[in-house]
Amino acid sequence: MDNPSIHPPDQDQPSRSEDLASENMPVSPAENSAAETANHGAPPVEPFQETAGEPAPAAPAKKPRSGVLNFFFNPDTRFGRFNRATLRVVATVVGLFALGLLSAYLLLYRPAQQELQQTKADLARANQRLDSLQTDLDQARLAQENSNRSSQELSGQTEMANNHVLLLQAMNKANLARLALAKNDPAGAEQALKDAPAILLKLNPAISAENGDLAKSIQTRLNLALNEIRSDPRTATSDLGILNDQFLDLEKKITAGP
């Protein structure tokens, strides 16, 4: 009978020795941590390694804009697109309105302003001549009283001075009416020309002696201006300007003497 004590040793003996050796070997902290993680049932976390072939992570999506303006003018909504179109129409209308105002200023207001300045300048010159002629008239009257010259010569000088003063008064009335029309004051223009027909009636003999056609033209132009003050102020202003030019031509003839 076989003796069991002399059986050859088992082939798995070395493995048992290796197991005992591994159990007796010291365990590193990293292995201990991995073992603890495995014991808790959680998979170990592998360190992130970026490879050259992998694409970069996508940028986070932009958050939608918020606010009152975005609510009213958001191009992604029908309400916003409608408001945008409406805003463009309103901006176009406002731009055209501003352009109309600028055109009115350049075409209407500025010419009227220039006409007003010119009328004021004409009125100032007429007033200066009136003051000067009034002084000449006073001097002529004084000379008539103190001079020994013939009464006919003195009468002629006095008559010429009187006619000159009447002419300047008529010019002054016409310029005052032009100034009132430039200020859009038809009532003031009528008031300024109220005494003009009477002045021309006194001056008519002297004007007729110089030029009969001119006398008729002056009277006709004055009547036209009086009739157009209410109905057509612009035409009335033009007629008064022509009348002022006629007065200036007549003044040159009167002051020239015989």
Contacts of 178 (CB under 8 A, 6+ apart): 119, 122, 189, 237, 240, 241, 244
Domain-located, residue 230: yes
What phi and psi values does residue 164 have, to the nearest 5 degrees? -65, -40
> Which region among 68-77, 127-136, 183-192, 235-244 has the lowest average model confidence (pLDDT)?
68-77
Residue 149: predicted pLDDT: 63
Residue 27: predicted pLDDT: 47
pLDDT in tens, 119-137: 888 888 888 888 888 888 8
Residue 208: predicted pLDDT: 84
Instruction: Determine what percent of the chain is predicted with pLDDT higher than 70.
Output: 71
Domain-located, residue 3: no
The domain tally of the chain equals: 1
CB atoms under 10 Å from CB of 255, counted, come to: 13
Domain-located, residue 14: no
pTM as predicted: 0.47
Domain residues for the domain of 238 are 111-256
Domain-located, residue 130: yes
Domain-located, residue 52: no
Which tokens is 37 given?
């993680």
13 pLDDT tier (thresholds 50, 70, 90): very low
Domain-located, residue 138: yes
Domain-located, residue 47: no
Domain-located, residue 36: no
More confident residue, 52 or 74: 74
CB of 233 closer than 8 Å to CB of 184: yes
